[in-house]
Structure 1
Amino acid sequence: MGVVAATLGASAFWVSSRSFAEPAALVPAPMMDEAPRPHLETAVVAGGCFWGVQGVFQHVKGVSEAISGYSGGSKANAHYEIVGTGQTGHAESVRITFDPRVVSYGKILQIYFSVATDPTELNHQGADTGTQYRSTIFAANPEQRKVAAAYISQLDKAHAFDAPVVTTIEPFKAFYPAEGYHQDFATLHPDDGYIATNDMPKIAALRQFFPALYRPQAKLVGATASE
């Protein structure tokens, strides 16, 4: 597998932070992307509470599944109450299964940086604090690592944000689905105070910034999630 050049997207612009718990920004598309492939691929990212990250990617065309879970620690401590201590090495993460013929890995990262997370915040997002809320890309292979590293460098050089990107790249080891009650949370509880304040604006930003990739009907996990 190799990488190919991609066209630079529109210049970054900001949406008022008064409307979002974390400011959303349409950042330039990555200049480097994975070569197209004819099979499904997975990406694992972390960027704060997994409810919002999952909610965003469930609305992206070409994504067949987005599951909330834990990555970075061991199977033994992949439980919400334990992860919440911040001592497990896990981050609240989302595993995204996507068709690269519809949405590329680079485009997944552009959406991630634009609306799913604030990449200038490392061990917190908004009011959520701790290493379990870190902004991290879990690279599944050398190609993903190369694309992610090049993209972070590109965004920093372009001053796409008011502060340096502190999103880290960690090697992917394993992903453990979160408890069933965490799955599809943004869709099932849109009026929840946390969701309404922090996560529904992210989905609205996705619709605004990426209209060609926005899917009105969320692709829910449903019965496929682990209990």
Structure 2
Amino acid sequence: MKRQSALIHSALDWRYAVREFSPEKLNAQTVDTLIDAARKSASSYGLQPYKVILIDSEAVRRDLLPYSFGQQKVLDCSHLLVFAADTRIGDQTVERYVEQYVKVRGVPAEEIAGYANHMKQALASKSLVEKREWAHQQCYIALGTLLMAAAVLEIDSCPMTGIDNTAYDEILGLTDQGLETSAIVALGHRSARDQSRELAKVRFDFEDFVIKLQRQSS
């Protein structure tokens, strides 16, 4: 346990939000591994109401740069990922999951009909705004999984929300696909010129971060 704990903390202490990337490119297998980690992330009901858009095209990233509030790393990173939330949340969200469930586990759909109806009812009880917020929340869970995987592999990353989401949607043609930008993450290797690489990580102390509710004896 101590060894695993040390590994986790070493990876998290190593990572930081890179300010400047080197020109070095990541290989396709490494990028696919990170995206696959996000694919295997926890998700409410396992419904995964989002997509990940992989952008290694310099031309597309150059188009996105003016809508990234001067964050040059959007262009200079090795690969740029966009987490996009599904805007069409409803029965079809559940039916898509059921189809995959049947395919993966080799069982009839009737086996989870009751659970499927429960999921449909849960989503139907949400307003359009609540459905949208729920989908974006799932994006952030997957993003966190990807960041952890990148840290373990010592691949640098920088998650960003300081962008013009509407412009991103337009440039990437997401609206017609029933998607909208939630967050982006730049991947690559830190530049030797990045002054942040040697700075201590600033986080609140454990005691200030955790509220412990002790169980009282009866």
| TM-score normalised to structure 1 length | 0.27
Q: Which has the higher helix share?
A: 2
Greater Rg, structure 1 or structure 2? 2
Q: Greater relative contact order (Cα 8 A, min sep 6): structure 1 or 2?
A: 2
Q: TM-score, normalised to structure 2's length? A: 0.27
